[in-house]
């Protein structure tokens, strides 16, 4: 009986959509390795796309 009471107490601490908001996107929020972020510094990735319309790239120039 003691184990059941303990499990019941744990159940009341469980987070669910019935009791709280669960933020969307939390599964994808993680620390990215440095190696994964290196291409962002390469001009071929970081520069404006060559076919981007000029009227849409004013803030990037």
Domain ranges of the chain: 1-56
Identify the pLDDT of residue 53. Answer: 93
| Cα Rg of the chain (Å, integer) | 24
Element (H, E) at 24: none
Judge contact between 45 and 39, C-beta under 8 A. Answer: yes
SS3 18: coil
Q: What is the pLDDT of residue 12?
A: 81
Tens-place pLDDT, residues 2-59: 999 999 888 888 777 777 776 666 666 666 777 888 888 888 887 888 899 999 988 8
- What pLDDT score was predicted for residue 25? 64
pTM of the model as a whole: 0.33
Residue 52, phi-psi category: left (phi > 0), alpha (psi -120 to 50), beta (remainder): beta
pLDDT above 80 (res 1): yes
Q: Look at residue 53 and give its three-state secondary structure.
A: coil
């Amino acid at each position: 009986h003691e184990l059941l009471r303990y499990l019941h107490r744990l159940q009341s601490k469980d987070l669910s959509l019935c009791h709280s908001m669960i933020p969307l996107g939390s599964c994808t929020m993680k620390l990215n390795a440095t190696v994964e972020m290196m291409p962002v510094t390469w001009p071929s990735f970081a520069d404006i796309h060559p076919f981007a319309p000029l009227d849409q790239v004013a803030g990037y120039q």
